Every structure is written in C-alpha cells, then in structure tokens.
Structure 1
C-alpha cells in the first residue's frame, strides 16, 4: 500500500535520546515517531510503513484517518464545535437516538473516555441504590478486570498491584472470581448495588466469560435486585462481530458502557441504561466536553456504519480468517493457543517473550508489524474492523517472521 498524500513536515528532528523529553513519563515508548496513517497502515518520519494490529488499543475501528471520520469532523467543525453541555445540540440528539435504536436501551449519556463512562455507570448505580435500595452502594467486580485509570476505576479493576499504587484508594468495590458464580454469591451483601464485568477481559489476555457463568450471573443479579453493568468499552460497537458483545451471550444488561471504537479514533464514550435506572437529578453528572457536537457527529457516522448487518457480517468473516491463520501459527511454531471473539484475538506463547516478539515485529524490514503484549506470555491483536483480507494474510506472514526471529535468539 502507498499512502496517498505527502509526508507531514516535521520540526527539526530530535536525537533519539531527547525524544519525549518534554513529556511527563507515563510509559516507555520506542524511538519511532509516526507522522501519518491510512487504513491498516502507519508511516513513520523515515518513511517506513507498519501494518497496525493495535489501532490505538481497539480505538480505530475503521482504521487510520478513515474518510468517514474526516468528513464528519470537517463538516461539523464548520457548523458548531461546542455550545456547552447545558444545551441540546443536534448531533448529540441524533447519536443518542441511534444508540437507542441499535441497542434497545432507553437512555444515553455521552462522555469522553471509557474510564469516565464507567465512573458514570457506578455513580448511576449508587444513585439508584440510594433511592431504591436503602443506600446500597457496593460494586462487585472481578479479578483480572480492567475498567480505567481514574482512582475509582483502578479500585474497580482487578489488575494486580493497582490497589497499592496510589493508596489510599476509594472504597466500595468488592472482588469476585471471574467465571465463578459461587464467588459472586458469597460477595453479595445488603450493601451490594451492582455487579460490573467485562465479557472479554482484554487487559487480562483476552479472557472470555463462560456463557453459562454469564447466564447464571444475569439470573442471580435479577433475583437479588442487583444491577448488572457490562463494560463494553473494548468489546462494543462491532469488535466481537456483533454490535455488542452481550448479544453473543443472549443476555440483557441493565447498564452498558461504551468507548474506544464508538469514536473511530476520537475521544467519545457512552453509558446506556434502561428507563427504570434513569435516576440522575440535574447536576448529579456532567462534563465540559460530554456530548459535544464535534465528537457526537463522528460517533453517529461510525455507529451507523459499523452496526449495519452487512458490515458486521464482514467483521465475522475477517475474524474467522484471522483466527484460522493464528491457529496455523500455533501449530507450526509450537505455541500454546489462540483465542478471542471477533477481531479481538490473543496468541498465547509458551514462554515470557511476548515483548521480544513485539519488538521484533516492529523492527522487521522493509515493513513492520505493530502488536500488543498485555501479558509477558501473550500477544493481543486488535486490527481495524474493516481490515482487508490481503492485509490479514500479510500480517500473518509478518508475525511468522517475528516469531522465527525471536526463536533463533
């Protein structure tokens, strides 16, 4: 693939040792500086291309700089960018109506990130608990879960060590064991107002909830009068081959959170709820940029495209192609397993060399491959939902090269 516009002109190049010197250190980044992208490919300042199977951690559901998103941003920016959340705007109303139609839920709240959406869902549950459950407030979440990087969502997450990183942490979050309904029953108390889970735990290594466990959890929460909040920040909007991952499990949650793919690359997130849980009073929840027309216009374009039956059928076809190719790699390279749902896949290695494979894939020449290693022994693949069949074949070939390079070290 050849990118169809000239490289961005950069300021005088910094020496690699100086890269990021003005940034607060929050992560370790390679020396690569990306300057442009189209579809499945990124290009760096030296003109090297990379086939991207990370896509902003499942954010760019239509790839890099998709015309649909560019057109929505351009058209809306010429009309209205942000009149403040104190007023209605047309894209806000249109996106809310579209999400209601696609999901079957009744109410929508728009925010900027998955963590914010999850915080809002917890607030909504606790407000409902104050009004309907005598002040019940505790949220049960799961070992291995990941719900965001705010303090409260770090408490809700089950990532090892996060309960000590910024102690003291907010309380009111109990933990149960994933796929263990007995542990949920034991964790429920009179103070419990909701259970919150990911149906696919992405950060834990693309761990899938067992269908029987999910059905039992829905039945248990209904029986006990406890809300079921499903975090679909990573799995929603087509990532798993349906509009929402909970559709794969045949359940109806009470509250669903969305993020990442709903914006196709721009900061956008949402909370969906049933009418009976629409219990915020004016002033209880808000945000300066929540529901701004610029982002909402993009979300409307993305959701309208991705949640169509034809597009979702294509996602399932490409997911099968990728899964079949990964299973062949497992056999040929002596790996442990391949797993996932839709175009959220994981490759389980026999040892803790995932970061080495990520680096080797990135360093391939003439074109690199971008992968993610959420665990030392595991690779995660999150390509654009419209990735081409030829690009999948190319990615599989590059992955084989990276694995072979690491195996010879």
Structure 2
C-alpha cells in the first residue's frame, strides 16, 4: 500500500530518465514526451544551460530569505520586465501561488471584491484559485467557496455586455484555455474583455501559467492581442525547477509593499538561476521565431493528416500547445498511444492535448504525427 494520498490517477509507468524530448521508464522503454511535465520542461529534459546554472548555484548558496537582497532575483525580474508590459515582478513557487497573488493584488489595489473568470477555466487548487476556476468538478466537495467570484461563458461577447461591474476588482482569463480543452480566445473576445475592464475600472489579469515563456511562439501569448495589468507565469519559467511569478504594471506597486504579501521560498537563488537560464535561452535572437515556425509546421502536419479522419472534429491551438478534438472519449486512445511510445495528455474528456518541448525537432514532431495518425486512424475506422 502506498504511503501517498491518492490525489492522482497515476499511470502504471515510472519515468527514470529523460533527455531532450525523450524519456525512459525503469524497464528501459523509450517514449517521445509530448507532455513535458504538463508544459513545464519546455526546453526538454536535462536542458544543459539550466542544468549548469543550477549546478553552479548549488555550490554557492541555496536559500537565504527575502529579508536579504538576492541579485539573481533582480536579474531575472529585469529580463521579464524588459521584454514585457510589466514594471515589477513577485516571485513565488507555483502557478497557483502566482494566481493567488494576482487575486490579492487586484482586490487590494482596487478596493473592490469581485473577480470575474470564465467557464471551463483553470487557475489552480488553492482555495482562492479553486474558487476562480470555472469548473464545478474542481470545486466539488469543498463546501462553500470564497465569495465574489463570477463565471461567464468563454468567447461570448454578449455576456460581457451584461456583466454587472459593481464591486468588480478584475477580470481574469487564459489566452488559451488549457485544462478546458485547448480553446483559444478569439481576438474579438480578448479585445472586448480589455475594453470592458477599462469601462468598469477593473484590472485585467491574464493567466499565462501554461501559455507563457515561449509555449505559443511568443514570450507571452497575450502579446499583440491585449495589454494586461497583471500576468501570472510558472510551469516553463523554470524548466522543471519549481517557480512562479506575478508580473504587474507600475500602478500596482504601491499596493504590494512590505508586509502585504510574501513567500518563504519564493525567488530563492536556485530557482532564480533556473529562471535566468531559461529566459536567456528563450530570448535569444531567433529562438521564438523558430518556435513559431515549428508550431506552424506541426499544426499543418496535424491538420493535413488528422482532420480528414471522420472522428476528428478539429485540430486547434497555437505554437506548441495543440488540442485534437475527438468525437468521443480519449482516455483509451491516450493509453494506446502511450503503449506505442508517445506521451500525450487529455484536456477534458474528448480532447488530446499536445505540449511538446518548444525546441522539439521537426523530425520528432513528424514522428509524433505519424504515431497519432496510426492510432487515430484505427480508432476512427472502428467507430464508423
């Protein structure tokens, strides 16, 4: 009997080694990893610059406390602010913590209480972020949620017109809903949300925990679409080292002063070494252009090979975040793909989610498409 709480429906697979886009289980079987730790190891397993940066920091100091100045925090925050809308960064340990900080900051800054999010969204599993999540299954069994959260249908412009803006501190959204089915927000919808925030005098929070740090081919997925007041980041930010960040505009700085918020481990030197190495890689000239090109190629391959199958409803997404909507449950298909050497995720009951390392090769992407086609073709024929 396991000594762990059974909070995860674990697969009968133990990964013991990983390098780049590939992992091995304890029996020595190889798998093409298009999960990347759920968009975490975005530069692949054992990415050398991150590995080296953390190893070097291990020989210096692991943890001090945020009572001390931490130069690596300043350097990492400087890279984030220089290349984004933001003027200040708060470091923490996870996406849920980053979203928790964003909710607290919005309420404190505006003096208002309500936060509007969207149905099928996912923002975390702390009490506040669970309340912010627009999926009942995440909130079930925990009794009364924290008050002042409201859920609107995603991509529905008319719902924004009917929004009661009284006491509204923020509207919070994902540019692409990940756990909700890999559903991209339309440009018209995203711009309408931004306009609504200005009209209501509330803040715009963009949850980029899954979409950020190059996942869609840009440092952040909102770039060129909307300008937020607050953005949250985690997952790919540390390429496997636990870290989260909340970025905000200068106007928000007075609301987060000493004593207003904190995190014991947030921004520790080991995490900051990883973050700095990740950002320096992703921000290299041409890197994000290559991610965009690779993502477009992967999407084109998937569409041409899979959308002709009668059971495939749609292939959608952006960059290296792609969903394949199947006309039925995908759990069995994902299991069969795993047995054939390809690791992928569900996003809801009927969507196969692909989150490969953003620097996967074209050969690896073509291999994944071939493996997907072989399995989906068989299932599609069996279903007709």
Of 204, 229, 232 in structure 1, the residue corresponding to residue 205 of structure 2 is 229
Of 195, 216, 234 in structure 2, the residue corresponding to residue 240 of structure 1 is 216
Query: Aligned ranges for residues 298-377 of structure 1 at < 5 Å?
Result: 298-334=274-310, 335-352=312-329, 354-364=330-340, 368-377=341-350
Q: Distance in 2 between matches of 1:103 and 1:201?
A: 21
Q: Distance in 2 between matches of 1:111 and 1:256?
A: 13
2:24 corresponds to which residue?
43
C-alpha spacing 1:311/1:70, structure 2 compared with 1 (3 Å): same
Q: Distance in 2 between matches of 1:160 and 1:190?
A: 25
Q: Distance in 2 between matches of 1:372 and 1:262?
A: 20
* Structure 1 range deviating more: 179-188 or 44-53: 179-188
Q: Give the superposition deviation at 1:127.
A: 0.8
1:13 corresponds to which residue?
none
Q: Distance in 2 between matches of 1:235 and 1:309?
A: 20
1:169 corresponds to which residue?
145
CA contact (8 A) 1:237 1:307 kept: no
Q: Distance in 1 between matches of 2:354 and 2:224?
A: 20
Is it true that 1:138 corresponds to 2:105 in the alignment?
A: no
CA contact (8 A) 1:92 1:291 kept: yes
Q: Distance in 2 between matches of 1:226 and 1:309?
A: 36
CA deviations 1:149-198 (Å, max 9, x no partner) are: 11111110101333433112211211112122332343333211111000
Of 335, 342, 357 in structure 2, the residue corresponding to residue 384 of structure 1 is 357
Of 245, 249, 262 in structure 2, the residue corresponding to residue 270 of structure 1 is 245
2:134 corresponds to which residue?
158
Q: Distance in 1 between matches of 2:244 and 2:295?
A: 24
CA contact (8 A) 1:326 1:338 kept: yes
CA contact (8 A) 2:323 2:352 kept: yes
Q: Give the superposition deviation at 1:219.
A: 1.5
Q: Distance in 2 between matches of 1:101 and 1:84?
A: 25
Query: Aligned ranges for residues 67-82 of structure 1 at < 5 Å?
Result: 67-82=48-63
CA deviations 1:122-157 (Å, max 9, x no partner) are: 000111122xxxxx1110111111101111111101
CA contact (8 A) 1:242 1:248 kept: no
Of 97, 104, 111 in structure 1, the residue corresponding to residue 92 of structure 2 is 111
Q: Distance in 1 between matches of 2:86 and 2:61?
A: 28
The number of residues matched between the two structures is 380
2:235 corresponds to which residue?
260
Q: Distance in 2 between matches of 1:215 and 1:309?
A: 29
Q: Give the superposition deviation at 1:408.
A: 6.5
Query: Aligned ranges for residues 387-398 of structure 1 at < 5 Å?
Result: 387-398=360-371
CA contact (8 A) 1:206 1:340 kept: yes
* Structure 1 range deviating more: 173-182 or 44-53: 173-182
C-alpha spacing 1:138/1:32, structure 2 compared with 1 (3 Å): same
TM-score by length of structure 2 reads 0.96
* Structure 1 range deviating more: 206-215 or 176-185: 176-185
Give the RMSD, CA atoms, in angstroms: 1.4
2:272 corresponds to which residue?
296
1:53 corresponds to which residue?
34
Is it true that 1:283 corresponds to 2:283 in the alignment?
A: no
Q: Distance in 2 between matches of 1:40 and 1:269?
A: 23
Q: Distance in 2 between matches of 1:47 and 1:273?
A: 45
2:81 corresponds to which residue?
100
CA contact (8 A) 1:175 1:187 kept: no
Of 360, 370, 373 in structure 2, the residue corresponding to residue 400 of structure 1 is 373
Gap regions ≥5 residues in structure 1: 1-17, 131-135
SS of corresponding position for 1:104: coil
TM-score by length of structure 1 reads 0.90
